[in-house]
Structure 1
Amino acid sequence: MTTLRNTIGKSVLLAATMLAANSIAWAGQAPGRLSAPDSPISHHDRVYAAEQFSNTVSVTDPVDNKLLGVIRLGDPQPGNFSPLYKGQVLVHGMGFSPDHRTLAVVSIGSNSVTFIDTATNAVKHVAYVGRSPHEAFFTPDGKEVWVTVRGENYISVIDPVSFEETTRIVTPNGPGMQIFSPDGKYGYICSSFNPETDVVSVAEHKIIATVKQESPFCPNIAATPDGSQVWFTLKDVGRTQVFNAKPPFSLVKTIDTGPITNHVNFAHTAKGTFAYVTVGGLNEVKVFRTDDFSEVATVPVGNLPHGVWPSGDGTRIYVGLENADALAAIDTATNKVVANIPIGQAPQAIAYVPNAAPDANDRQNLQALGVAGQVAHLALASKGGAKDGKTPTSVSLFDQGLIQVLQASVTGLQPRQKYVLALADHGDGSGPLQPLAAFMTNPAGSAIVNAAGPIRQIVDQSAAATRRYLVIASGDAAMPGEAVQIEAQ
């Protein structure tokens, strides 16, 4: 009898523990319901960042704001050029399950979704989808994973148990990201190629409404925890738009946020619910009230802020700094940066997952940063000099062994014009130019420009006799014109 009582008692305790865990799965913060209890920051929580050029997922303890290690999903260049290469390329998007036990990590270059066990940091499965997927997220009931296949025209719906695609939801070309209403009734899918956000009935997998985007390029979308609003960013025009999360899904606000507006997310505090918008071209996070849309703070965070996610209690906002290889932690009470954690190369999506690690001390399957922690930084200024002292363009050189991947976050140029990122023999940009990458600015006069090669060695200041200088010139690669931005000294 005693044994039976003990067994029953343990079963009841286990059931109660599971119910308690499930009740705080989404917590009172995005992407869950506001009515759910918050989850205080603990050593069991993890902050994950998907890192595009090191092909890693970094894992951070938010109590100590300390990097615990990285989950290596792929190799740097040129190893990932091999025809026999099996790892992931351009690790980029990220979502997590309602029970906080699984990450879904999207790699654009290898057309994949990697499912990771948060308890062990081990890869459970890799599912391959269509061309150039961008983001993935679980439905609030945990029964489906929706993946935006941005290089095509559909959402791939995956069963998280069998990891098989069960259906496709056809959309206009280039679905950018999807997120769900906290009650799981609606899915909201913004577009990166078309000026249209689609509202989908989750139960029917059918588009039931559309919302006009002011521009075609939306990279990110989020729903408020109270289920009343959806916010999405427009990277090309530097704006953020807000629409009603319920019928008739009408647009309610357009906000000028700034060049290279990247991601948006929410923190609910005692003072209300606030939207945090990363503005890559200004190296800032802008904070807005969700009731009257007033801007209440501007937080300088570092080079090219990208992904953003709240802690389980809304006391912190974590921001990935794409051109600083770092994770910034913002105190939402003061809107000040309280920590800056070195992580992998070019972090994109961020996910804060409460209670992700049953064993807070477990470091299984985590590796040191290694080459992923090596980066050099430069800045380009207007040739005539910046009147406000700010440099409009930041440049990162991410080490990949013998070569580097260069990424420039370019602002301060004329909109919709052709330019060339080039090497010059002289610091003032004079003399013959060697083009590295040609690009066209977006309507906000900004761009993200990439190149690869032994560039750090060429611009190394210690080799003054042979060094060259990064510049941006007008025109195209065939006929570059005069330099308009030069290396800041």
Structure 2
Amino acid sequence: MNEATNDSRRDFLKAAAAFPAVAATPWAMAQGTAAMPKPAMASSAGPDIAAVDRVFITNEDSNTIAVINSASNTVETTINLTSFDEDARPPFRFVTGGVIPTHAAMIHKPLYHGCIDAHGAVPNPDGTLLATCGRGSSNIYLIDAVNRRVVGNIANPQAGPTTNPERLSSGILLGREPHEPTFTRNGKELWVTLRGEDRIAILDVDQALNQLGGEGASQGERSSRGHGNAPEPTIRAYLPTLNGPAQVWFSKDGLLAFVISQKVAQLEIIQVNPDRQGYSRPKRLRVVDLSAQDKPAFTPFQKLSPDGSQMWLSHKLADAVSVVSVKDPGTVLATIPLGEMARPNHLEFVDNARGQVTYMSLARVDDGGPNGAASSRLAIIDRSVPPAQQKVVGLVYTGGREAHGLWTNPANNLLYVAHEQDELPGTPNAGQTVCSAFDVSSPLQPKLITQIPLGSLKLPSGELRNKKSINLVYVRPGTQGQTA
């Protein structure tokens, strides 16, 4: 560990009293006080949006992260995970001779070392750090959510008028098909499911930041990582688990980990068993048979209910969602059908003074959406009744095609939805991928506020359109969020 990083941590600790509500996570400690501003409410945006609030969307085909300012509902910036235009020579360019490559050609260009298939994303407990997976490149990237940049990028030695000023970090290599990352509740570890294998990579977040260089390391130190130096123990362990693990989510107290799969109809529950420093010593508690709930064996997403009592599992090919007890770990309380060919992706909870619901994003595209265009829908499940009585009580068009990721603001009255497909010709945002914003102050009657076209990443050689949105997270840096 270098002295500059130590100095940065000491500076943060001296000023920690300025942020009494926020845990001193390894990322916050590594960044110093300037990187974690106290959330200030944006007066022009009303009381439910803070000035620091941002929505982050991973775009799988463009390998970018679109960042939306929720106060204006516009794309503020696009984070570049590609390695294009780091050199002026043609093999490094995105656009050569005026030709924009197809997606397949793009990621197989000679000398490309950027992200392939940007997919899962999650914030750490205090919202200062994001983790996102490159499924095809088998790695994980850490994103500074305050400054909205990739951790570990360095100054580009080839920089010039027609090249990018930074050289992209290659992230941390993990294993085959990393799908979804999840931080432990104390923020010390990042658990990443390797969907192409039967194991979970458990990373030490502090060491990962050190390996990537953080803010304290010099360019030379960062460039030398992995080139002859002894590797730091970034990956604490590979944890054997179900075949094809899709995602881990933790219980509210952080003592249990729930693991779902897209290859076997099973749910594994693991005791985290933290030591005195908060690092895990995992032990298998039980494996639950889900063949009755998920015959196709394809469960890609799960999330904990706000009160911490239930884990909800999305069965995409079974067109259903299951509710599992956390108190009696693994007991299935209910399985709720969502309709033929609904194809649920992600789920999100909204609990406020006017209702308690679960929203399910449906990949199916139906006719008759906003402005008469084809659109996906959200299924609305009323959670004010016991699990056995819960059912779909309504559907609402999302205003985009093939709905995927969704996340709410801390006040539970705004909801954002990502989409995989572009909008159709003749529609207001034809040819663009859009994010939709909803007013969910009345959860049973969500109202579409706007479609947000995601635009493009402007590279020196041309524009790379943001497309095929997957994960979406709403982040308020410096405030405990859904993973806290």
Q: How far apart in 2 are the matches of 1:317 and 1:212?
A: 33
**What TM-score does the superposition give when structure 2 sets the normalisation length?**
0.66
The one-character-per-residue Cα deviations of 1:195-235 (angstroms, maximum 9, x if unpaired) are 00111112231221223322210110000121111111111
Structure 2 counterpart SS, 1:86: coil
1:242 aligns with 2:364: no
Tell me which residue corresponds to 2:452.
341
Kindly report structure 1 stretches of 4+ aligned residues shifted beyond 6 Å: 10-13
Q: How far apart in 2 are the matches of 1:83 and 1:189?
A: 37
Tell me which residue corresponds to 1:310.
408
Seen in structure 2, the aligned counterparts of structure 1 residues 339 and 16 have a Cα distance that, compared at 3 Å, is: farther
- Deviation of 1:248 (Å): 4.1
The one-character-per-residue Cα deviations of 1:425-479 (angstroms, maximum 9, x if unpaired) are xxxxxxxxxxxxxxxxxxxxxxxxxxxxxxxxxxxxxxxxxxxxxxxxxxxxxxx
Tell me which residue corresponds to 2:109.
82
- Deviation of 1:168 (Å): 1.7
Percent sequence identity over aligned pairs? 29
The letter of the residue matching 2:325 is N
| Structure 1: tracts of 5 or more residues without a match | 1-9, 24-37, 358-489
Seen in structure 2, the aligned counterparts of structure 1 residues 83 and 300 have a Cα distance that, compared at 3 Å, is: same
Tell me which residue corresponds to 1:354.
476
1:51 aligns with 2:96: no
Q: How far apart in 2 are the matches of 1:97 and 1:318?
A: 19
- Deviation of 1:102 (Å): 0.8
Q: Count the aligned residue pairs.
A: 335
Tell me which residue corresponds to 1:18.
19
Q: How far apart in 2 are the matches of 1:349 and 1:202?
A: 25
Tell me which residue corresponds to 1:275.
358
Tell me which residue corresponds to 1:115.
142
1:331 aligned to 431, 439, 443, which one?
439
Q: Which moved more, 1:58-67 or 1:121-130?
A: 121-130
Q: How far apart in 1 are the matches of 2:477 and 2:394?
A: 30
1:219 aligns with 2:292: no
1:169 aligns with 2:215: no
Tell me which residue corresponds to 1:233.
314
Structure 2 counterpart SS, 1:161: helix
Contact residue 169 and residue 206 of structure 1 kept, 8 A = no
The letter of the residue matching 1:151 is G
Q: How far apart in 1 are the matches of 2:70 and 2:409?
A: 8
- Deviation of 1:272 (Å): 4.0
1:290 aligned to 376, 383, 401, which one?
383
Tell me which residue corresponds to 1:262.
345
2:124 aligned to 97, 104, 108, which one?
97
CA RMSD of aligned residues (A): 2.4
Tell me which residue corresponds to 1:151.
196
The one-character-per-residue Cα deviations of 1:244-267 (angstroms, maximum 9, x if unpaired) are 112242101111114221111212
1:66 aligned to 47, 71, 74, which one?
74
The one-character-per-residue Cα deviations of 1:349-374 (angstroms, maximum 9, x if unpaired) are 111111369xxxxxxxxxxxxxxxxx
Tell me which residue corresponds to 1:207.
284
Tell me which residue corresponds to 1:41.
49
Q: How far apart in 2 are the matches of 1:182 and 1:205?
A: 17
Q: How far apart in 1 are the matches of 2:319 and 2:59?
A: 23
Tell me which residue corresponds to 1:361.
none
Contact residue 314 and residue 344 of structure 2 kept, 8 A = yes
Larger strand fraction of residues:
1
The one-character-per-residue Cα deviations of 1:263-288 (angstroms, maximum 9, x if unpaired) are 11212211343211011114111111
Aligned ranges 1:450-461 → 2 under 5 Å: none
Larger helix fraction of residues:
2
The letter of the residue matching 1:268 is D
Contact residue 150 and residue 174 of structure 1 kept, 8 A = yes
Q: How far apart in 1 are the matches of 2:200 and 2:282?
A: 10
Considering only CA atoms, is the larger Rg found in Structure 1 or Structure 2?
Answer: 1
Q: How far apart in 2 are the matches of 1:185 and 1:168?
A: 18
Tell me which residue corresponds to 1:137.
182
- Deviation of 1:184 (Å): 1.0
Q: Which moved more, 1:197-206 or 1:89-98?
A: 197-206
